[in-house]
Amino acid sequence: MQAAHDHAAHAHGHDAHAHHPSGIMRWVQTTNHKDIGTLYLIFSLTMFFIGGILAFGIRAELFQPGLQFWRPDFFNELTTMHGLIMVFGAIMPAFVGFANWQIPMMIGAPDMAFARMNNWSFWLLPPAALLLITSFFVPGGAPAAGWTIYAPLSTQMGPGMDLGIFALHIMGASSIMGSINIVTTILNMRAPGMTLMKMPLFVWTWLITAYLLIAVMPVLAGAITMVLTDRHFGTNFFNAAGGGDPVMFQHIFWFFGHPEVYIMILPAFGIVSQVIPAFARKPLFGYASMVYATSSIAILSFIVWAHHMFTTGMPAAGQLFFMFSTMLIAVPTGVKVFNWIATMWKGSMTFETPMLFAVGFILVFSMGGFTGLILAITPVDIQLQDTYYVVAHFHYVLVAGSLFAIFAGTYFWLPKWTGHMYDETLGKWHFWLSLVFFNVTFFPMHFLGLAGMPRRIPDYAMQFADFNMIASIGAFGFGLSQLLFVLGVVKCARGGGVKAPDKPWEGADTLEWTLSSPPPYHSFETPPVVK
Amino acid sequence: MAAEQKSNASPLQVIKAVFWSFLGIRRRAEYEKDAVSLKPAQVIIAGIIGAIVLVLSLVTLVHFIIS
Ligand SMILES: [Cu+2]
């Protein structure tokens, strides 16, 4: 409002970055890291619910054997789109949202390095999501080749696949720009005295994640571009009849896909590494080894990709190589879990909601890590490939891992972001219901997989009926429990609850807690000095 | 950057730092020494060489198993 007076002389201030437009234009034009962080988080939450509705569709169909609701090919669209939306629309943007909010505050900077590019990185996402969702309504429907969009399935589908490919291209461009921004911010905008080795672990994990993104998103773009030219321009990259090789698609995809797994889990490690010391009231045990373990995981993630492809027919030497290299990743991951537990050891712990989610993360994510180790064993993997065991494994990693860490981080920083405390009772209910229903949903899937139930099918044999019914009930419960999360966040954002002090958590010691709650528009106008 | 006077690390120290990083553990004191003396370029080059050595040793191991 007051800006209208300042700029009354100009018809429109086209380059006035010092004034804040109000209403919708504030969000469209914003170059502020906090506004953009909020946009990312809202986008991610929206996509999380869209992906969740698709999951409801999947679990409703699988509630009983036989075909109840969907045509089989629509069921494939549901599984594919659930995967694509959750990976590219929910988990990744959520972590970028955290990065936007937290990194400048944690390193003592006023904002991100490239404020306008930051705006562009975000505003690429809604059109991409729109393309992806529109694909449901074109002839032939949405992509149905699985989120891995393997050729030759993906070269045969209708125009929905093209929309999916364009959406991935745009989201990839957004991720790359976001990563460049994050790397530049971290390397150039740290407060005086904050050497690399003094950076909070969340910043470290994002620095490494950003490098991973810059390295592998172009690989994904290459793979899907080749699918696109195979589909429309007569190339034969993946067409065996034309001299191409469909297995090559899998190699290229998983060279992106495995580091992608770490892109979705390293920032989660970072959040948990902030939350655990704060509520154990002890500094993080083995800070240096945490940094080293993160880099180690990142490097190793590039030499394991073919563990997703043991059944494609690989010489024994290849099978052994990828089996050994995959198992090596357990070492740095184990170091991390050990360090978190050592941090809690003899700490004076309290269990507010962020800590509950962080401890829950350690327990349940470790389970996903172990099943990953089991799947790394080639002969076991050949038996379990494409069964529900794999579905159970990666949901333990991505839901109990990434998503729980996102919840932990949200409850941890909500008081800082909004200036109000969240509702602790509501948060605790959200945690316990999520934990219980998560396990009710996904634990039985291990048994289903071991018994041989294949994934991505709308119907199944009678002997799988009981566990599927349990899993479906768990899934409905898990989905509905997430409404408590929305309720808690909305209450907090609308200013309900107690006013938050600058530092609501006694044991938290990073720079963002020295700012007011909510923090000023330009986080640190004068850089703090770090001893 | 230019303001900071950096003592140069010996190749051995770089190799040792990278070795421990692959394992994911490092003593705090050693780490602090690394952090002041190692240059980013050194670490990246040593990291890439380390990755190549790791791959080659795995390949050798596999070679002995299947031959
Ligand atoms: Cu993998």
Q: Ligand 1 centre from A117 Cα, in Å?
A: 31
For testing contact with chain B, the best of A194, A292, A327 (most B CBs within 10 A): A292
Is B26–A292 a contact, with Cβ atoms under 8 angstroms apart? yes
CB pair distance less than 8 Å for B61 and A324: yes
Instruction: Choose the closest CB to B62 out of A291, A292, A321.
Output: A321
pLDDT of residue A8: 39
Residues in A touching B62 (Cβ below 8 Å): 317, 320-321, 324
Torsion, Cα of A48, A51, A57, A63 (10° steps): -60
Q: Is the ipTM of this complex over 0.95?
A: no
| Catalytic site includes residue A455 | yes
Ordered DSSP codes for A390-408 = HHHHHHHHIIIIIIHHHHH
A402 an active-site residue? no
Domain boundaries, chain B: 11-66
Tokens of A96: 């970028």
pLDDT at A35: 92
pLDDT along chain A (531 residues), means of 10: 40 47 82 93 96 95 93 93 95 96 93 93 96 94 92 90 95 95 94 88 94 95 95 92 92 95 94 95 86 85 92 90 90 88 90 95 93 93 94 94 95 93 94 96 95 93 94 96 94 85 88 89 84 72
Asked whether residue B41 carries a pLDDT value surpassing 80, the answer given is: no
Q: Provide mean pLDDT across the span B35-43.
A: 71
Biggest alpha carbon–alpha carbon distance for chain B? 56
Distance separating alpha carbons of residues A199 and A186, to the nearest angstrom: 9
**Interval between CA A297 and ligand 1 midpoint (Å):** 12
How far, CA to CA in Å, does A288 sit from each of A201, A376, A434, A510, A526? 10, 28, 33, 17, 29
Half-sphere exposure of A97 (CA within 13 A, CB side): 24
Q: What is the 3-state secondary structure (H, E, C) of A331-390?
A: HHHHHHHHHHHHHHCCCCCCCCHHHHHHHHHHHHHHHHHHHHHHHHCHHHHHHHCCEHHH
Nearest CB partner across the interface for A321, out of B24, B32, B58: B58
Nearest CA in chain A to B48: A299
| Contact criterion met (CB below 8 Å) for A65 and A459 | yes
Per the CB < 8 Å rule, is A332 touching B24?
yes
Task: Return the pLDDT at A528.
Answer: 86
* Res B8: pLDDT: 65
CA–centroid distance, A86 to ligand 1, in Å, is 17
DSSP state of A500: P
Residues paired with A499 in a beta bridge: A420
Please check whether residue A48 is in contact with residue A90, taking contact to mean a CB–CB distance below 8 angstroms.
yes
Q: Which amino acid is at A463?
A: Q
Q: What is the pLDDT of residue A51?
A: 96
Report the chain B residue with the minimal C-alpha distance to residue A300: B51
pLDDT of residue A10: 41
User: Which residue, among B16, B52, B58, would best test binding to A if mutated, counting the most A CBs under 10 Å from its CB?
Assistant: B58
Annotation says A307 is catalytic: yes
Closest residue in A to B20 (Cα) is A292
Q: Using the mean position of ligand 1's atoms as its centre, give its distance from the Cα of residue A488 in Å.
A: 35
pLDDT at residue A9, rounded to an integer: 39
- A308 CA distance to ligand 1 middle (Å): 6
Q: For position B1, what pLDDT does the model report? A: 39
Q: Coil, helix or strand for B2?
A: coil
Q: By the 8 A CB rule, do A368 and A322 touch?
A: no
- What whole-number distance in Å separates Cα of residue A512 and Cα of residue A524? 9
The minimum CA-CA distance between B12 and chain A, rounded to whole Å, is: 18
Q: Please give the pLDDT value at position B7.
A: 53
Whether A325 and B58 lie within 8 Å, measured CB to CB: yes
Residue from the list B22, B25, B62 with its beta carbon closest to the beta carbon of A320: B62
A505 is catalytic: no
Of B28, B47, B66, which has the smallest distance from its Cβ to A299's Cβ?
B47
CA-based nearest distance B24→chain A, Å: 4
Instruction: Find the helix packing angle between A92-107 and A404-418, rounded to 10°.
Output: 50
Q: Which residue of A has its CA nearest to B57?
A: A321
Across the interface, whether the CB atoms of A332 and B20 are under 8 A apart is answered no
Interchain CB distance below 8 Å, B58 and A324: yes
How far does the CA of residue B38 sit from the closest CA of chain A (Å)?
Answer: 12
**Maximum Cα–Cα distance across chain A:** 76
Active-site residue flag, A366: no
DSSP string, A51-92: HHHHHHHHHHHTTSSS--SS-HHHHHHHHHHHHHIIIIIIIH
Output DSSP code: residue A310: G
CA of A255 to the centre of ligand 1 (A): 9
